[in-house]
């Protein structure tokens, strides 16, 4: 990551809400660099401060202390007008989609362009292009009430992209969707990131979303960043209590791997399956930790090739969970006897 350009820089950020019931410290000591072009995940339990953080990035919420520097601009130094201009470079999508109910899909996408003073004809042309990009050009004349959740989120994504933003903020963008629709929206986000080079910041409470999409992740716990790093590192070797809890689910933190008698599996990646972080999937799906004894895998053109030997936990139930999962995802594997 060294030498990569930073698009959002957050320094010593605090956010405190004051109400008649007292103070709520929603965020404390937040320091974060988000790199141009990456997909960055923010995860945490409910009330951890995720939404507050993302709303501080586009200054919908003013930080109590600290700085947000977007593309070299310190947001707190901007006038109202400059801030509104800066916001057109930051797209945002929401859990509830937040489309204008009285406008059809096309006019919803036109909205940010109207705001920016783009002519009607140009706006429509661009809006159609974007609806095409998100795959629902045929629904241009439909109203939000006539669209499914996934389709509404696609319109919302098209709308967020209308002004050519540099970053896209996603607050629980898939939390209101079923698993299949979630997958297709995540695919779309990945596509947008790759095709348009837009930096994406994703907030979620679902580990699977982070795992499938993000390169780096910040785990927020009780207003602080508890852990920050590459997804692969955090998933395979969580440091903080909260990370362990989120990744390994509750309670199984102290299982010993030193046991020699644990069963070992050789997993073969023959290139048939698209690359997936198998190990973290095992951890997530089977809710069981595994030990990697040997690994020689390469990511060739998006396909995983190579082999890996893992040691299963001693617990029979956990082991069978893992084996069941491997069968389910159709991965080649065999039990090995000899020591590696």
Partner 1 sequence: MFEAAVIKMIGMGILETLYMVFVSSAIAYLIGLPLGIILVITDKNGIHPMVAINKTLGFVVNIVRSVPFIILLITILPFTRLVVGTTYGANATVVPLIVSAAPFIARMVEASIKEVPEGVIEAAKAMGASTFQIIWKVLIPEAMPSLITGSAIAITTILGYSAMSGFVGGGGLGDIAIRYGYHRYQTDIMLVTVVILVIIVQLIQDIGLKLALKKDKRIS
Residues that bind Mg ion (CB under 5 A): 51
Phi and psi dihedrals of 278, rounded to 5?
-55, -45
| Residue 169 binding ligand ATP, by CB under 6 A | no
114 binding partner 1? (CB under 8 A) = yes
| Residue 26 in contact with partner 1, rule: CB under 8 A | no
Nearest CB to partner 1, comparing residues 143 and 275 = 143
Determine, following the binding rule CB under 6 A, whether residue 19 of this chain makes contact with ligand ATP: yes
The answer to whether residue 158 forms part of the interface with ligand ATP (CB under 6 A) is no
Residues written for the chain: 340
- When CB distances are held under 5 to 8 angstroms depending on the partner's kind, the choice from ligand ATP, partner 1, Mg ion, none that residue 48 binds is ligand ATP
* Residue 146 interacting with partner 1 (CB under 8 A): yes
The answer to whether 99 touches 156, Cβ cutoff 8 Å, is yes
Nearer to ligand ATP, 49 or 91 (CB): 49
Long-range contacts of 18-23 (CB under 8 A, 24+ apart): none
Reduce the DSSP state of residue 253 to 3 states and report it: coil
Question: Hey, what are 134's tokens?
Answer: 């998100």
How does DSSP assign 129-175, residue by residue?
HHHHHTT-GGGTT--GGGS-HHHHHHHHHHHHHTT--SEEEEESTTT
The answer to whether residue 85 forms part of the interface with partner 1 (CB under 8 A) is yes
Q: CB of residue 236 vs partner 1: minimum separation in angstroms?
A: 35
Q: Decide: is 102 part of the binding site for partner 1 (CB under 8 A).
A: yes
Buried residues in 4-38 as b, exposed as e (16+ CB within 10 A) = eebbbbbeebbbeeeeeeeeeebbbebebbbbebb
- Interacting residue with partner 1 among 17, 35, 143, 275 (CB under 8 A): 143
Interacting partner of 103 out of Mg ion, ligand ATP, partner 1, none (Cβ under 5 to 8 A depending on kind): partner 1
Q: Is 13 left (phi over 0), alpha (psi -120 to 50) or beta?
A: beta
Q: What are phi and psi of 85, to 5 degrees?
A: -65, -45
Is 101 a binding residue for partner 1 by CB under 8 A? The answer is: yes
Does 70 contact partner 1 by CB under 8 A?
no
Assigned token pair, 143: 């109203």
User: Given the rule CB under 8 A, which residues bind partner 1?
Assistant: 58, 60, 84-88, 90, 92, 94, 96, 98-104, 111-112, 114-116, 143-146, 156, 159-160, 163, 169
User: Given the rule CB under 6 A, which residues bind ligand ATP?
Assistant: 17, 19, 24, 26, 44, 46-52, 205
């Amino acid at each position: 990551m060294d030498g990569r350009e930073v698009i959002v820089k957050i320094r010593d950020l605090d956010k405190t809400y004051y109400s008649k019931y007292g103070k709520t410290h929603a965020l404390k000591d937040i320091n974060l660099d988000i790199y141009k072009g990456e997909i960055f995940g923010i995860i945490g339990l409910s009330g951890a401060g995720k939404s507050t953080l993302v709303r501080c990035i586009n200054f919908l919420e003013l930080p109590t202390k600290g700085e947000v520097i977007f593309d070299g601009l310190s947001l707190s130094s901007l006038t109202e007008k400059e801030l509104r201009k800066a916001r057109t470079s930051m797209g945002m999508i929401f859990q509830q989609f937040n489309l204008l109910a009285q406008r059809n899909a096309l006019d919803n996408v036109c909205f940010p362009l109207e705001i920016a003073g783009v002519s009607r004809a140009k706006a429509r042309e661009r809006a159609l292009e974007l609806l095409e990009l998100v795959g629902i050009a045929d629904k241009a004349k439909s109203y939000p009430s006539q669209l499914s959740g996934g389709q509404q989120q696609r319109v919302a994504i098209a709308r967020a992209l209308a002004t050519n933003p540099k970053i896209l903020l996603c607050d629980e963008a898939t939390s209101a969707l079923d698993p299949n629709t979630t997958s297709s929206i995540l695919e779309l986000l990945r596509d947008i990131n790759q095709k348009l080079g837009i930096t994406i910041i994703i907030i979620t409470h679902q580990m699977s979303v982070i795992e499938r999409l993000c390169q780096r992740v910040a785990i927020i716990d009780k207003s602080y960043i508890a852990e920050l790093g590459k997804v692969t590192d955090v998933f395979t070797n969580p440091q903080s209590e909260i990370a362990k809890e989120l990744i390994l689910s509750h309670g199984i933190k102290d299982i010993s791997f030193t046991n020699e008698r644990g069963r070992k599996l050789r997993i073969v990646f023959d290139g048939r399956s698209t690359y997936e972080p198998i190990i973290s999937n095992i951890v997530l799906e089977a809710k069981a930790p595994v030990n990697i004894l040997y690994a020689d895998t390469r990511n060739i053109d998006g396909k995983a090739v190579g082999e890996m030997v893992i040691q299963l936990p001693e617990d029979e139930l956990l082991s069978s969970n893992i084996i069941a999962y491997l069968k389910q995802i159709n991965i080649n594997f065999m039990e090995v006897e000899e020591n590696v």
